[in-house]
Structure formats: C-alpha cells, structure tokens
C-alpha cells in the first residue's frame, strides 16, 4: 500500500514565514510598548509628586499672604486707634495750654489789683489765698499777724519757687512728649508704607511662583512627548532595518 504525501496548508506556512521574517520587529515593538508604558507611568508619578509639592508650596504662600493681610489689618486698626488717641490728646493739650494762658493773664491782673488794695482789702485777699490766716487790721497803717499766722504764710510762700520750677520742668517734659508723638507719627506712616510694599511683594511672588510652576509643567510635558516621538521613530526604523538586513 503506497503512502500519499501530505502537503502543508499554505495559510499556516505563510503565517509562520511572516513571524520569522518580522520576529525582531515584533519583539522591538513589544519592548518599545512596555518601555513606553513604564516610562509613562514613571513620568505620571513624578508629575503627580511635583504637582503635589507645587500645590503645597502655593498653599503655604497663600497662607503666608493671608497672615500678612491679617497682620496688616491689625496694624491698620492700631494705627487708626493711635491716630484717634493723638487727636484726642492734642485737643486736650490745646485746652490745657489755653487754660494756663488764661490763668497767667488773670494772675497778672490780680497782682495789679492787689497793689492798689487798702489794708482791709489786703487782709481779705490774704484770707482767700491762705484760709488758715485771718490778718488783723487793727494796726494803724498795716495789718498784724500772730506767730502761727506768720508761719502759715511763710509755709505757703515757700511753695511758690518749687511750683514755678516744677512748672518749667513739666513744660519741658510736655514739649519732649510732643516731639516723640511727632516722630511716632512719622514712624507709623513709614511702617504702613512698608506693610503695603511687603503685601504687594508677597502677592507678586505668589503669582510668579504659580506662573513658573505652570511653565515648568508645560515645558516638561512638551519635552517628554518630543523625545518619546524621536526615540520611538528611531527605534522603529532601526528595527525595520535590522529585521530586513537579517533576511
């Protein structure tokens, strides 16, 4: 009995021949595909980390900016309260200066009046100034004082030089305080200007940082896509060339 030879199916032979001819291309394509997948995941993870860092930095900057605004608002409130206080004290000082000036005028007028008083009038005025002393007008052409009245009068008059010196010192102190208030007003204005400048600087830095982060992300994605395209095309062409050269 003769054996009939079996002829291979043309489709199977063609399929095997195509895989053999394109084995390197298929392998290269698989390597590039897995490589692209791995690199893509890596860059996605890196972008996520960088994005989280940039977001955290932006949040910190916003928090600092908010804190600066709160401090500036508090400083502004204090400055307003201080301005009101200065106005109030200035008004009080003006009233006190006016009162002192008026008393000085009255004192000079009283001195003129006292110089023309008769002895009875001198005794009456003496009693007004020193209630514990009631001079007697029984002395002809004058007034008489007891020993106690004389000592009380002397004690009263001893206060005059001290009061005059204290007044001079207090006047100087008031002048010094006035100078301090003026300098403090200038300092307050300078501090407000500095706060305004720092607020603007902080806001500009926050805006710049955000713009830098956005620009860096865009450039990074652009570079990744560009180099991936170059690598993929180069590898694919090299694979084709290597596959056909091995035939």
Q: What are 64-72's contacts with CB under 8 Å, separation 24+?
A: 64/202, 65/199, 65/202, 65/203, 65/206, 68/195, 68/198, 68/199, 68/202, 69/199, 71/195, 72/195, 72/196, 72/199
- Please say if the pLDDT value at position 157 is more than 50: yes
Integer CA distances (angstroms), 63 to 18, 144, 175, 191, 204, in order: 64, 84, 45, 22, 14
Mean pLDDT of the chain: 75
Q: If you ran DSSP here, which 8-state letter would residue 144 be given?
A: B
Give the pLDDT band (50/70/90) at residue 109: very high
Total structural domains within the chain? 1
- Please say if the pLDDT value at position 13 is more than 70: no
pLDDT computed for residue 102 by the predictor: 92
Query: Is 119 among the domain residues?
Result: no
Question: Looking at the whole model, is its pTM more than 0.85?
Answer: no
Give the domain range for residue 71: 24-99+148-245
Query: Is 140 among the domain residues?
Result: no
User: pLDDT tens-digit profile of 205-221?
Assistant: 777 777 777 777 766 76
Query: Is 124 among the domain residues?
Result: no
Query: Is 135 among the domain residues?
Result: no
CA distance 231 to 118: 124
Nearest by Cα to 83 from 220, 215, 189, 208: 189
- Please say if the pLDDT value at position 103 is more than 70: yes
CA distance 134 to 152: 11
Tokens matching residue 221: 């994605």
Task: Give the 3-state secondary structure percentages of the chain, helix then strand then coil, rounded to 5.
Answer: 85, 0, 10
pLDDT computed for residue 92 by the predictor: 85
User: pLDDT tens-digit profile of 23-68?
Assistant: 777 777 777 666 666 666 666 666 677 667 777 777 777 777 777 7
Query: Is 128 among the domain residues?
Result: no
Query: Is 107 among the domain residues?
Result: no
Task: Kindly tell me the burial class for residue 208, based on how many C-beta atoms sit within 10 Å of its own C-beta (0-12, 13-18, 19 or more).
Answer: exposed
């Amino acid at each position: 009995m003769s054996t009939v030879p079996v002829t291979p199916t043309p489709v199977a032979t063609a399929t095997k021949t195509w895989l053999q001819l394109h084995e390197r291309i298929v392998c290269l394509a698989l390597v590039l595909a897995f490589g692209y997948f791995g690199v893509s995941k890596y860059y996605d993870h890196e972008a996520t980390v960088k994005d989280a860092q940039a977001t955290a930095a932006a949040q910190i900057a916003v928090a600092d900016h908010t804190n600066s605004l709160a401090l500036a608002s508090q400083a502004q409130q204090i400055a307003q309260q201080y301005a009101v206080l200065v106005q109030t004290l200035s008004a009080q000082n003006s009233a006190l200066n006016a009162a002192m000036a008026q008393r000085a005028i009255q004192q000079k007028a009283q001195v003129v009046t006292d110089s023309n008083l008769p002895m009875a009038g001198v005794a009456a005025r003496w009693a007004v100034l020193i209630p514990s002393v009631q001079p007697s007008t029984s002395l002809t052409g004058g007034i008489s004082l007891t020993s106690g009245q004389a000592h009380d009068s002397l004690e009263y008059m001893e206060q005059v030089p001290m009061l005059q010196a204290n007044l001079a010192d207090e006047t100087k102190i008031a002048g010094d305080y006035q100078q301090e208030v003026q300098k403090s007003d200038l300092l307050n204005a300078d501090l407000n200007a500095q706060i305004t400048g720092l607020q603007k600087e902080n806001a500009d830095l926050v805006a710049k940082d955000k713009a830098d982060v956005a620009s860096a992300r865009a450039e990074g994605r652009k570079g990744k896509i560009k180099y991936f395209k170059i690598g993929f095309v180069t590898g694919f062409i090299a694979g084709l060339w290597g596959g056909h050269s091995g035939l």
